[in-house]
């Protein structure tokens, strides 16, 4: 029941925010403002609903030290995508043709902030965290990663391969990031850094959502395995490889820190069940 309440509360906040963002589409300043407000609204609602349903402080989204954690995640996400683009460019699959739109980049700053916050709250803050409590880290990572990839099939230029790539390089990796840190600010930053680098700086297609008007004027070409095709560089094998590497690193950190939760077995719950039955 608490899962439903938490998911619905955050989903409604996200939906309201995204409706406002959509209403000001085309105005970079209002998109920046409404995107930022949507992100703030998501955080406020998540903290409120966790307190109300779990009767605890949401330490995974604590306000102390959030700036450093958010910044660290953003740097990781930005560096990860920059490395992917550099590889694709080295193989002649990405070309910079000039300067793009600074105002477009500012609008995307707000847009990507809203996307990173709302998606991380829903998929890592609620879905992964609660599924993990019941099934353990490994099953939760696999299930929520697949679901995260599957929702990207709704994007305009989505492909089955693109959704699979997102599941591997983002769904699994971001869940592993949360498992390693037990903090939502780091995966939020990572998600934002990756997305803003893609759309706001390098001006490539983000997850099959059409062309982005960012800071650079650029184009991609070549086979899907190199450039990702219409889905964008996230459909490139190099993006998948980068995601796999980071997933392994985060899972190694999670295991080293003792953050891996084992799957619960029925036998471990039998005494409690028997007591209730009596």
What are the pLDDT digits (tens) for 135-146?
Answer: 999 999 999 999
Q: What is the pLDDT of residue 37?
A: 97
How far is the C-alpha of 168 from the C-alpha of 149, rounded, in Å?
8
How far is the C-alpha of 253 from the C-alpha of 168, rounded, in Å?
18
Q: What percent of the chain has pLDDT over 70?
A: 95
Model confidence at 186: pLDDT above 50: yes
How far is the C-alpha of 25 from the C-alpha of 23, rounded, in Å?
6
Q: Which of 153-157, 164-168, 173-177 has the lowest mean pLDDT?
A: 153-157
Q: What is the pLDDT of residue 107?
A: 95
Model confidence at 5: pLDDT above 60: yes
Q: What is the pLDDT of residue 265?
A: 58
Q: What is the pLDDT of residue 183?
A: 96
Which tokens belong to 36? 């930022």
pLDDT digits (tens, 9 = 90+) for 75-133: 999 999 999 999 999 999 999 999 999 999 999 999 999 999 999 999 999 999 999 99
Q: What is the pLDDT of residue 211?
A: 83
Of residues 255, 84, 82, the one with CA closest to residue 165 = 84
How far is the C-alpha of 105 from the C-alpha of 212, rounded, in Å?
9
Task: Tell me how many degrees the CA angle 178-180-186 measures, rounded to the nearest 5.
Answer: 50
How far is the C-alpha of 154 from the C-alpha of 259, rounded, in Å?
33
Q: What is the mean pLDDT of residues 25-33?
A: 94
Model confidence at 202: pLDDT above 90: yes
SS3 assignment, position 96: strand
- Where are the strands (E) in the chain, listed by range? 94-99, 216-220
Are 74 and 192 in contact, with CB atoms under 8 Å apart?
A: yes
Q: What is the mean pLDDT of residues 210-226?
A: 92
Q: What is the pLDDT of residue 210?
A: 83
Of residues 105, 113, 243, the one with CA closest to residue 188 = 113
Q: What is the mean pLDDT of residues 257-266?
A: 82
How far is the C-alpha of 23 from the C-alpha of 40, rounded, in Å?
18
**What pTM did the predictor assign?**
0.93
Are 200 and 109 in contact, with CB atoms under 8 Å apart?
A: yes
- Where are the strands (E) in 65-201, listed by range? 94-99
Of residues 95, 105, 114, 110, the one with CA closest to residue 42 = 114
Phi, psi for residue 50 in degrees, rounded to 5: -65, -45
Mention every residue, 6+ apart, whose C-beta is less than 8 A from residue 119.
Answer: 148, 191
Please classify residue 63 by burial: count the beta carbons closer than 10 Å to its beta carbon, then call 0-12 exposed, 13-18 middle and 19+ buried: exposed
Q: How confident is the model at residue 2 (pLDDT cuts 50, 70, 90)?
A: confident
Q: What is the mean pLDDT of residues 170-178?
A: 98
Q: What is the pLDDT of residue 112?
A: 96
Q: What is the 3-state secondary structure (H, E, C) of 107-139?
A: HHHHHHHHHHHHHHHHHHHHHHHHHHHHHCHHH
**CA separation (Å) from 16 to 2, 38, 82, 244?**
21, 8, 32, 34
Model confidence at 272: pLDDT above 80: no
- Where are the strands (E) in 112-246, listed by range? 216-220
């Amino acid at each position: 029941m608490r899962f439903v309440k938490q998911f619905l509360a955050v989903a409604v906040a996200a939906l309201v925010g995204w409706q406002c963002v959509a209403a000001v589409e085309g105005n970079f300043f209002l998109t920046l403002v409404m995107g930022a407000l949507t992100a703030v609204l998501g955080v406020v609602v998540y903290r409120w609903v966790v307190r109300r349903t779990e009767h605890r402080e949401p330490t995974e989204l604590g306000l102390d030290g959030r700036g450093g954690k958010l910044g660290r995640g953003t740097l990781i996400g930005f560096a990860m995508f920059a490395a992917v683009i550099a590889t694709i460019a080295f193989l002649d699959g990405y070309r910079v043709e000039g300067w793009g739109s600074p105002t477009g980049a500012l609008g995307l700053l707000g847009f990507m902030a809203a996307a990173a916050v709302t998606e991380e709250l829903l998929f890592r803050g609620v879905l992964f965290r609660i599924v993990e409590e019941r099934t353990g880290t490994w099953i939760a990572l696999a299930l929520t990663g697949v679901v995260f990839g599957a929702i990207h099939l709704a994007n305009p230029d989505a492909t089955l391969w693109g959704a699979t790539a997102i599941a591997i390089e983002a769904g699994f990796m971001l869940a592993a990031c949360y498992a390693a840190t037990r903090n939502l600010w780091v995966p939020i930053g990572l998600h934002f850094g990756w997305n803003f680098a893609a759309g706001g700086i390098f001006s490539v297609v983000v997850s099959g959502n059409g062309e982005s008007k960012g800071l650079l004027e650029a184009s991609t070409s070549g086979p899907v395995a190199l450039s990702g095709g219409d889905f964008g560089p996230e459909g490139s094998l190099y993006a998948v490889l980068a995601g796999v590497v980071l997933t392994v690193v985060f899972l190694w950190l999670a295991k080293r820190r003792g953050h891996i939760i084992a799957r619960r077995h029925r036998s471990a719950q039998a005494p409690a069940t028997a007591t209730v039955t009596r």
